Amino acid sequence: MRHFDLVIIGSGSGNSILDDRFADWNVAVVEKGIGPNDAYGGTCLNVGCIPTKMFVHTADVAGAPEAGAGLGVDLERRGVRWPEVRDRIFGRIDPISEGGRRYRAEGSPNVTLLTGEATFTDVKQLTVQTADGAETITADRFVVAAGGRPVIPEIPGLDQVEVHTSDTVMRLDELPRRMIIVGTGFIGAEFAHVFSSLGVEVTMIGRSGKVLRVEDADVATRFTEIAARRWDLRLNRKVVSAEKTGDAIRLNLEGPEGAESVEAEKLLVAVGRTPNADLIDAATGGLELTDEGKIAVDDTQRASVEGVWALGDISSEHELKHVANHETRVVQHNLLHPEAPISSDHRFVPHAVFSGPQIAAVGLTEQQAQQRGVEYVTSTQDYAGIAYGWAMEDTTGFAKLLADPNTGLLIGAHVIGPQAPTLLQPIIQAMHFGLDARSMARGQYWIHPAMPELLENALLNLPLN
């Protein structure tokens, strides 16, 4: 039985743990392959953040005729060459993934790459189903970075129709005329924007009364209003069954007005992701799980077995790449300096939804502030009220800030509108470094007439004591 100093399960964020400081460690990396082509390098690179944002940018460009019309510029979208868009994007990503795999397999002398699904068969003992058969290995230390996978809900008939998830939908052979998207979270909102901008008729189905309902209620309400104008939006609906009808897929729904059905050539299911703790049989490895089925870790990312750490989607409540990256750096340090471990900082975790419009947020929503009994004041600034917003003729975007009325410290920020993720970054910085709203607003220049004036005004308008 081969024994290693360190075994890393998962080649997403886990792949970036190893650097020169591990050169004299005997390491194994285990990866089963992700997505339709069993790729190396995890979700973000192959089936997540990176390709989706490459499609989102393309979709934003495809939306220029609509944006231009409001400015008095007549543009024409003569067509979308989907195979070319798709192949451009994956023509860039697939070689990076393959290069990463080759580097681990052939270019890292102290690293053994084991390709296959890994399962704990005992505490600190792993069995990997490789193409050459099963191999059982042990190690002094394990890093579990095995991520998660899309959930497919239990709906009668769904197993009889072709179901796409975010893993497969970006590699469609051709654009369908119509697409049904089940789910109104991050993935639903981003792909609805992508496919509708590229000319697909999108029907979006949600269980609740709002799209992106975890956002601050003002933001979710505004986004839902816009979504209803862009897509055939069916909210407060339960999907009762699925069936095939000729070339199409029909979903039978139950809604406020009773039974109804929707049809499309393609179906995308985006109802959340589940951690891969079951795939690796974490319980047999002695690893405690949270109520959500994630691997339980302390603030230094240590799991319940000594010498085992976990990071990213398999253990974090935040399924975001910047969080997985942060936790990777913490685990990396703690592997190298076990005598002086550091903790992850999850105080101000931002997120963004790259849809149309874009959304970005950090800290508490107003509803969370109320539930927690936190004292707060708010200020909302429309894009329509700043000079660059006039330039864009924006009528729907805004920034909303929440601050402590006594200290002026920011406790939440929510932006919906053009470039929201970029605009939010200085607020994240202020929260991390304890900069109060007045100092932030008046202690620096704000470029005029640039979009960050949105934040300058929102900061100045906070009714602080």
Ligand X SMILES: Cc1cc2nc3c(=O)[nH]c(=O)nc-3n(C[C@H](O)[C@H](O)[C@H](O)COP(=O)(O)OP(=O)(O)OC[C@H]3O[C@@H](n4cnc5c(N)ncnc54)[C@H](O)[C@@H]3O)c2cc1C
Ligand Y SMILES: NC(=O)c1ccc[n+]([C@@H]2O[C@H](COP(=O)([O-])OP(=O)(O)OC[C@H]3O[C@@H](n4cnc5c(N)ncnc54)[C@H](O)[C@@H]3O)[C@@H](O)[C@H]2O)c1
Minimum CB distance to ligand Y, residue 52 (Å): 6
HSE-up (13 A, CA, CB side) for residue 133: 2
| Nearest to ligand X of 415, 435 (CB atom) | 415
Name the residue type at position 154: E
Residue 10 labelled as part of a binding site: no
Clarify whether 448 is annotated catalytic: yes
Interacting residue with ligand X among 219, 226, 308, 324 (CB under 6 A): 324
| Nearest to ligand Y of 116, 275 (CB atom) | 275
Q: Assign 3-state DSSP to the chain and report helix, strand, coil percentages, each to 5.
A: 35, 25, 40
Q: Does 16 bind ligand Y (CB under 6 A)?
A: no
CA gap 15, 85 in Å, rounded: 28
Residue for token digits 């007549």? Answer: 74
CA gap 52, 197 in Å, rounded: 14
Q: Does 279 bind ligand X (CB under 6 A)?
A: yes
Q: Does 322 bind ligand X (CB under 6 A)?
A: yes
CA gap 445, 453 in Å, rounded: 10
Q: Does 230 bind ligand Y (CB under 6 A)?
A: no
Q: Does 207 bind ligand Y (CB under 6 A)?
A: yes
Interacting residue with ligand Y among 91, 107, 153, 156 (CB under 6 A): 153
- Angle subtended by helix axes 186-197 and 217-230, to nearest 10: 30
Q: Does 185 bind ligand Y (CB under 6 A)?
A: yes
- What does 27 bind: ligand Y, ligand X, none (CB cut-off 5 to 8 Å by kind)? none
Minimum CB distance to ligand Y, residue 195 (Å): 15
Of 15-23, 268-276, 324-332, 424-432, which segment contacts ligand Y by CB under 6 A?
268-276
User: What 8-state DSSP symbol labels residue 16?
Assistant: G
CA gap 330, 311 in Å, rounded: 9
Cβ atoms of 12 and 145 closer than 8 Å? yes
Q: What is the per-residue DSSP string for 152-205?
A: ----TTGGGS--B-TTTGGG-SS--SEEEEE--SHHHHHHHHHHHHTT-EEEEE
| Nearest to ligand Y of 224, 379 (CB atom) | 224
Of 5-13, 402-410, 411-419, 431-439, which segment contacts ligand X by CB under 6 A?
5-13
Residue 186 labelled as part of a binding site: yes
Q: Which residues bind ligand Y (CB under 6 A)?
A: 153, 182-188, 190, 207, 239, 270-273, 319-320, 351-354
Active site residues: 448
